[in-house]
Amino acid sequence: NSEANARRIAMVESCFGSSGQMLAVPGRVLVGEGVLTKMCRKKPKSRQFFLFNDILVYGTILISKKKYSTQHIIPLEEVKLESLDDDGPFRNGWLICTASKSFAVYAATTTEKSEWMAHINKCVEDLLRKSGKKPIDEHAAVWTPDSDATICMHCKKSHFSMLNRRHHCRKCGAVVCGPCSSKKFVLAHQSLKPVRVCLTCYDTLTKRKISEPVFPESKADGTIANGDSSGEDDSDEEANHNGISSTREEVSITLTIIFCLTCEGNL
């Protein structure tokens, strides 16, 4: 009922504390929750996920079922799911794709994967049907993990080291060196400011002559000529996008995933 749903949502809000956003809005229903393995830039990490009928919320687990941080909110209208084939220890996974961010998550069992995907897809379908909107056409690329690239994926020559940093193309997700990602371009769905792209994507984007907002520090074509990367968050493990890692030794944690339907009549 509505009172029980309100209590559940209030509990989620309290677990995030003052660092989280208000989640209680008219018509919002908490559908399910559980722990999934989210593939982050450097390694897989457990994250608490909450599925509402209009948004997907996840955060870092500080104290299980009691305290979470680093709240992320994804509007379900933007979401597209893509199932992943099992690959060694990477099992029961799928991609969560949006225009601004895409990443992989993994459940503990095939059943839990099926439940998560079915309920998310149902919520997305209901939202689009009620709003009359169409699914978005373009989704952000899933970033290739740092561990999957020892050399630049563009020039195939530059070896990464403590001094030669890895960078990610915001368009295709490839791991590239500084010289091979010296250009920037405005990707409207990701940022209002020009972001780092590899030379291949830069050439493709400029040929399309995409019309984007012009910023004082940028050229008329929405690009920045130099390769200054100051202020970027390339080194952040929880950077804007996350990918699937093929490094077997990194998956050493066993997670217990509990998917609980909190409002059975809504799906």
Token representation of residue 220: 């008329």
Predicted TM-score of the model (pTM):
0.72
- Comparing CA positions, the residue from 75, 25, 53 lying closest to residue 122 is 53
The domain spans of the chain are 2-139+246-266, 147-224
CATH of domain 2-139+246-266: 2.30.29.30
d(C-alpha 211, C-alpha 188), whole Å: 10
More confident site: 93 or 207: 93
Pairing state between β 260-261 and 55-63: unpaired
CA angle (62, 144, 113) in 5-degree steps? 55
pLDDT for 209 equals: 58
Distances (CA, A) of 74 to 5, 95, 186, 201, 249: 20, 14, 21, 26, 30
Pairing state between β 175-176 and 183-185: unpaired
d(C-alpha 50, C-alpha 20), whole Å: 13
| Fold adopted by 147-224 | Herpes Virus-1 (3.30.40)
d(C-alpha 26, C-alpha 98), whole Å: 24
pLDDT for 259 equals: 47
Per-residue pLDDT of 181-229, as tens digits, reads: 999 998 888 888 999 999 999 999 988 855 545 554 444 344 333 333 3
Mean pLDDT of 8-22: 94
Give the chain's mean pLDDT. Answer: 81
Q: What percent of the chain has pLDDT over 90?
A: 57
Token representation of residue 167: 């960078």
